[in-house]
Amino acid sequence: MTVPLQEKLAKWFIWCAALLTVSFLVLIIGYIMVRGLGKLSVSFFLENPRKMGSAGGIFSPLLGTVYFTLLTMILAMPVGVGAAVYLSEFTHEGPLVRMIRFFTDALAGIPSIVIGLFGFSFFVVFLRPLTGGWSILSGSLTAFCMILPIIIRVTEETLHSIPRSYREGSQALGVSKWDTVMHVVLPSALPGIFTASLLGIGRVIGETAALLLTLGGSLLIPTSIFSPARTLSMHLYLVAMETGEFSVAFAAAAVLVLVILLLNLGGYYLVQRLFKRMAGAQ
């Protein structure tokens, strides 16, 4: 085989592989949309599920998803951002920081079903008086453990990308370290922190395995953070596996995919605008 032919073949092969990868995405999203979009209607969103979810709408799982996601983010954002600020602003590379990094990476690798087992034995059983057993709170605390690494990592990367001159300029004016972080560093890191939260939300919405063991899976409308609930992805799984009613499952999948698309594309757009606003203000 001559060299130019070999080069051509390799190039052709590589383009095909990339095309195949992208086509999986298009195929999956396209298929889910084609089979799911038709069933979506206002009443599908506003009706409660009937007959274990095989009939009716998705109101209570939708509400459960919103409550659960909100609570998880309220728990995870302060801790994750706090950890990132500590790691990048208040300490130097050392054994402790290396250990924190190692454990954060390790946590990101632990399968969600194992975190679910932990959430079940710790939050659901051991802390039952505080969390109410299977409840939105137990589920959120479990999901908190899962998304902590993402939030820490993305926020830390953002903090590292902020020029040193910002911090030095502020401190040269006699501003304390804490106030520099609060009024100079964190505001300029806002787009990155926003991205971190969007990634966290995406992960939480898609999560199912750990929630099967901690959230309870109730179809009733949740009344407080101590009541059990189910999320849309749980609903999809339970409906598909227990009732075999694929039209509801596809509709739920279409809603999930739409939300993920919105988070990805809309989030990207918003971050761009935030960056521009910040650039304009400086």
- Chain positions 155 to 184 lying near another protein, rule: CB under 8 A, are none
* Minimum distance, C-beta of residue 218 to another protein, in the bound complex (Å): 13
Q: Which of residues 213-242 bind another protein (CB under 8 A)?
A: 213, 233-234, 236-237, 240-241
Least Cα distance to 64 among 269, 243, 228 occurs for 228
67 is a contact residue toward another protein (CB under 8 A): no
Helix (H) or strand (E) holding 49: strand 49-50
Nearer to another protein, 223 or 268 (CB): 268
Least Cα distance to 189 among 221, 212, 163 occurs for 163
Nearer to another protein, 34 or 221 (CB): 34
Count of residues of this chain found to bind another protein when the rule CB under 8 A is applied: 82
* Minimum distance, C-beta of residue 137 to another protein, in the bound complex (Å): 16
User: Given candidates 38, 50, 52, 90, which one binds another protein under the rule CB under 8 A?
Assistant: 90
Residue 248: both structure tokens together: 């509801």
45 is a contact residue toward another protein (CB under 8 A): no
Residues present in the chain in total = 282
Region of residue 171 (phi > 0: left; psi between -120 and 50: alpha; otherwise: beta): alpha
* Minimum distance, C-beta of residue 196 to another protein, in the bound complex (Å): 14
Q: Which listed range, 23-31, 48-56, 66-74, 269-277, lies at the site for another protein (CB under 8 A)? A: 23-31
Q: Please provide the DSSP assignment of 74-141 as one string.
A: HHHHHHHHHHHHHHHHS--SSHHHHHHHHHHHHHHHS-HHHHHHHHIIIIIIITHHHH-SSSHHHHHH
Q: Distance (Å, rounded) from C-alpha 94 to C-alpha 143?
A: 29
Report the SS3 class of residue 56: strand
Amino acid at 193: I
User: Given candidates 62, 71, 136, 152, which one binds another protein under the rule CB under 8 A?
Assistant: 152
194 is a contact residue toward another protein (CB under 8 A): no
User: Given candidates 34, 52, 55, 106, which one binds another protein under the rule CB under 8 A?
Assistant: 106
154 is a contact residue toward another protein (CB under 8 A): no
* Minimum distance, C-beta of residue 130 to another protein, in the bound complex (Å): 15
